[in-house]
Copies of this chain bind each other. A is one copy, B any other.
Amino acid sequence: VSTLLTIGEFSRTTLLSIKALRHYHDVGLLEPVQVDAGSGYRSYATAQVPVAHVIRRLRDLDMPLEDVRAVIQAPDVAARDAAIVAHLERMEAQLERTHATVQSLRELLEGAAPSVDVEFRSVAPTPSLAVRATVSWEGAEEWLGQAFETLAGALDSSAAERSGPDSALYSEAFFEAHAGEVVAFVPIAGGARMTAGVESLAIPAADLAVAVHRGPFDDLDKTYGALGTFVTERGIGATGDVREHYLDAEASDGDPAEARTEVCWPVRGGDSR
């Protein structure tokens, strides 16, 4: 009893296209049980049909091939399920964001000019505990969360006292290349015993245009747009990091819709205004 199928038969049995099957062979995701040395003809086994089906389902969910590989090569059921659940959660989070975005998109399209109050502020150098890294745009939010946990721990074990909210410095490269240096910091009063991975940093003085953003980070573009427009129209732009102050980090018990964020845009000093 032969259990071998040609690539065409296997294609019809698995509902995967021949091109896809050849590609999966090329990348070693699903290898034919036999390849003719002379002609290169591929032969698949009926026993491979279930694996092929799993691959097809996962690709239907837009799971990347490398993740698919991880699932079908998972050492145990738990690891396999974890990978699938993780992917599903990513997709659900995506849809949730989509819904939120559609809502604010409507407002944006209605053209209601978002009125944002901008205030000027000169800040002195600020001693701080800081964590610093080169971060990608997509990874930023997660990195920030971990950084502030690290800083909270360092604050606990130091002799210092917090003198301001969780904050961050974003380099120009972070915006322009969607990857660049980010510094998470907590301003402190007094000296501090240091922890590994955390540095003592004096956040430099600066002249800033400041606007308060309310709501989730996905909507930050409104505030950034208002600040950039404001600064440009007054001709007071300056180079330097943008700062954000996360005002309700502890107060707002994880309700991002109510969180307030101060966005601080560098401007030229007061004498030029």
Contact = CB atoms under 8 A, between A and B. Distances in A.
Interface of A: 1-5, 8-15, 17-19, 46, 49-50, 53-54, 56-58, 60-61, 77, 80-81, 84, 88, 91-92, 95, 97-98, 101-102, 104-105, 108-109, 111, 137, 172, 175-178, 218, 220-222, 224-225, 227-229, 232-235, 237, 242
A80 B109 contact: yes
A178 B11 CA distance: 10
Nearest to A175: B12
Contacts of A233: 1-3, 46
B13 A178 contact: no
Given A19-B177, A88-B98, A176-B18, A13 B57 contact: no
Given A177-B19, A232-B9, A104 B224 contact: no
Contacts of A14: 221, 224-225, 228
Contacts of A54: 105, 108-109
Given A98-B91, A101-B60, A232 B5 contact: yes
Nearest to A225: B49
B50 A108 contact: yes
Contact of A229 (B11, B13, B221): B13
